[in-house]
Structure 1
Amino acid sequence: MTNLKKYALVPTAVHHLRDGNDELMYADGPNGQPDESKPMRAHMFGPGTKVYAKAKAAQSNRNMDRYKKKGKSDLTAEDQTNDTAEFLAACTDRLENVEVDELTDKALHMAVYTDLELCFIPAQLDKLLSDTANFTKASPTA
């Protein structure tokens, strides 16, 4: 018999961010040019973690509160952006080589995830989190 836990998801995945042209993103080096030794990456907690479960529950609670308040479940574009940003920020362990106005931690995450000009970043991370294959152990045959 095989222990089913050998198929358990890993807690986090690292995603190398891509720009709007689907090119890998790198932080600038001292010369102002992208430095390939400084990949811009997001370290995300996945569906097999309590962090993710808590973020999903909070998202559901926000939706219920909004429904109770407005009497409808329709999200405005701003509601949707903020809701997605809150969820992603809660699932983010850290952003690596990413800077916005000297912000750190959740303030940095929210600044990135709510900036409509950077909409390609939350889209990538939403996609990453929606596929459990991104949180599986590497196959021994790979």
Structure 2
Amino acid sequence: MTTNLKKFALVATVAHQLRDGNDELMFADGPDGTPDKSKPMIAHMFGPGTKKFANAKAAQANRNMDRYKKKGKSDLSAEDQTKDTAEFLAACTDRFENIEVDGLTDKALFMAVYSDLELCFIPAQLDKLLSDTANFTATSLAA
């Protein structure tokens, strides 16, 4: 008996509830200013099995090559690294839920979140999420 290999294919996106710097789940504020447990702060991310992710990786590699051509080295400054990570993550982000920064939307919102050093724990957790294909399997979603 044979098995169709596609049954092991990765899912396109996952919803990841963000955690704060203390590793606590994050929720949007309710009307009284306290966290509303019915409004989790979620990032919907395109995974390694998608064209969006592949294009984001290719764009990241191209940025690195351009930097190398200009500077003659591939070392990234801290500022370049933050911007490069923000660009990559923004390209892999489908959408946010219950997240607001200065009225921004879409890529401008993603870039604001991912490039803010005071929110460095957010790109760190999403980078980790994207680096493990196990997070994008049907069994990981069922668990």
Same fold (TM over 0.5): yes
* Count of equivalent residues: 141
- Distance in 1 separating the partners of 2:135 and 2:109: 24
Partner of 2:112: 111
Under a length normalisation based on structure 2, what TM-score does the superposition of the two structures give? Answer: 0.97
Under a length normalisation based on structure 1, what TM-score does the superposition of the two structures give? Answer: 0.97
Partner of 1:63: 64
Partner of 1:84: 85
1:26 has 2:27 as partner: yes
- Distance in 2 separating the partners of 1:29 and 1:132: 34
* Runs of 4+ that moved beyond 4 A: none
Seq. identity, %: 82
- Distance in 2 separating the partners of 1:6 and 1:82: 37
Partner of 2:52: 51
- Distance in 2 separating the partners of 1:94 and 1:61: 24
Partner of 1:35: 36
- Distance in 1 separating the partners of 2:121 and 2:97: 17
Report the residue type matching 2:23 in the other structure.
D
Where structure 2 has 5 or more consecutive residues not aligned to the other structure, the ranges are none
CA distances 1:14-73 after superposition (whole Å, capped 9, x unpaired): 110000000000000011110000000100000000000000000000000000001110
1:138 offset after TM fit, Å?
2.3
CA distances 1:75-107 after superposition (whole Å, capped 9, x unpaired): 000000000000000000001100000000000
Report the residue type matching 1:43 in the other structure.
H
Report the residue type matching 1:107 in the other structure.
A
Report the residue type matching 1:73 in the other structure.
S
- Distance in 1 separating the partners of 2:83 and 2:137: 29
- Distance in 1 separating the partners of 2:132 and 2:109: 25
- Distance in 2 separating the partners of 1:138 and 1:29: 33
Question: Helix, strand or coil for the counterpart of 1:18?
Answer: coil
Question: Helix, strand or coil for the counterpart of 1:123?
Answer: helix
- Distance in 1 separating the partners of 2:139 and 2:103: 35
